[in-house]
Amino acid sequence: MTDRGVVYDLGYVPHEGARLGKPGAVRATIKDGVRRVLGLRRRARKKVLPWILFGIALIPAIVFVGLAFFLTSFVPEADSPFGGHADYYDLAGPVMVIFTALAGPELLIPDREEGVLAVYSSRPMRASDYLLARGAALAIVIAGFLVLPQLLMYIGFAAIDSDGFVQTLLSDWPNLWRIAVTSVAFLVGYGAPALFVSVYAKRLAPATGTLLGILVGSTGLAAALSESGAFAGSRYAALLAIAQHPFALRDWAFDQSSVDSVVADAGFGPVWSLAMILGIAVIAGGLALRRYRRLM
């Protein structure tokens, strides 16, 4: 062992490797967004709520598949209120409301209020790229919440079905597109209001509170207004039940009807719900783009 050390100053090393340009920037923004909403590489308190919600969304599916595996008498769709693919959204839907109310603001507000948008402004991406990347991050995480439990049940129940694994998978395949359609409806139906509020709110907690108020409170308001008959065309107020539109599309996809649906009770079919979801998404997206083009 030598008693003399030598310090080598390598100095500054220029980057001679690849530069991935806009695709690299967008990929990085998506990755950061996923980490951010799940609290990864953040303080422990940032992880608590997302992972509790993820647990609430996923664990029942694991339990149902487990029960069905160990108890041959257990029939998920008959013995559990959430055991079927369609019914599972009755559990996942409220979880989604809370999750998007937390995740939407988390994706946009800190970047804007902490001045981080200035960094994006010096990188090879535009406002639309940034917003799409943030939306993609939300979609990836929500897909995890909505699709993973469904896939687990789809594969798990097929594995223990007496008709055989492959045979059951093939006979149940229409459930896959139903799950896809419904999950997209929840993503856009809840994500668009989250985008709308997050574009204008300055702080996380008020934004989350406002979103919960809009998503939860709008159903009660819509019901009260549409059932009051206080003004001409008051039944159209039922369309303000923003949180119920994804359920309406779920019912259409799975060919069923919900017992308590303000929208359906007022006589509006799934096309109206689709139009409302798309309308809100277009308005929220347009306003977001307008604002962010001025910022970056």
227 sits near another protein (criterion: CB under 8 A):
no
CA separation for the pair 255, 234 (Å, rounded): 28
Q: Closer CB to another protein, residue 38 or residue 61?
A: 38
Phi/psi-derived region of residue 43, left when phi > 0, alpha when psi is between -120 and 50, beta in every other case: beta
DSSP 8-state symbol, 13: -
Which of 1, 4, 72, 114 binds another protein (CB under 8 A)? It is 114
205 sits near another protein (criterion: CB under 8 A):
no
185 and 245 Cβ atoms separated by less than 8 Å: yes
Closest approach of Cβ 23 to another protein, in Å?
Answer: 8
Contacts of 150 (CB under 8 A, 6+ apart): 61, 85, 88, 175, 179, 183
Closest approach of Cβ 37 to another protein, in Å?
Answer: 12
124 sits near another protein (criterion: CB under 8 A):
yes
CA separation for the pair 159, 165 (Å, rounded): 5
235 sits near another protein (criterion: CB under 8 A):
no
CA separation for the pair 160, 92 (Å, rounded): 24
Binding mask 32-61 for another protein (x = CB under 8 A): x--------xxx--x---------------
Which of 63, 77, 123, 151 binds another protein (CB under 8 A)? It is 123
107 sits near another protein (criterion: CB under 8 A):
no
CA separation for the pair 13, 125 (Å, rounded): 25
CA separation for the pair 294, 168 (Å, rounded): 53
Helices (H), ranges, the chain: 21-38, 44-70, 76-79, 85-113, 117-120, 127-159, 165-171, 174-200, 204-228, 245-253, 262-265, 270-295
Closest approach of Cβ 55 to another protein, in Å?
Answer: 23
20 and 127 Cβ atoms separated by less than 8 Å: no
Which of 1, 6, 7, 13 binds another protein (CB under 8 A)? It is 13
Of 10-18, 178-186, 228-236, 281-289, the window that binds another protein (rule: CB under 8 A) is 10-18
Of 54-62, 111-119, 149-157, 218-226, the window that binds another protein (rule: CB under 8 A) is 111-119
Closest approach of Cβ 295 to another protein, in Å?
Answer: 8
Judged by CB under 8 A, the number of residues near another protein is: 41
> Which residue has 């309308």 as its token pair?
279
Which of 48, 59, 75, 119 binds another protein (CB under 8 A)? It is 119
Closest approach of Cβ 96 to another protein, in Å?
Answer: 24
Closest approach of Cβ 291 to another protein, in Å?
Answer: 14
Closest approach of Cβ 41 to another protein, in Å?
Answer: 5
Query: Read out DSSP for 112-160?
Result: HHTTTHHHHTTSS--HHHHHHHHHHHHHHHHHHHHHHHHHHHHHHHHHT
Q: Interface with another protein by CB under 8 A: which residues?
A: 10-15, 17-25, 27-29, 31-32, 41-43, 46, 110-111, 114-126, 295-296
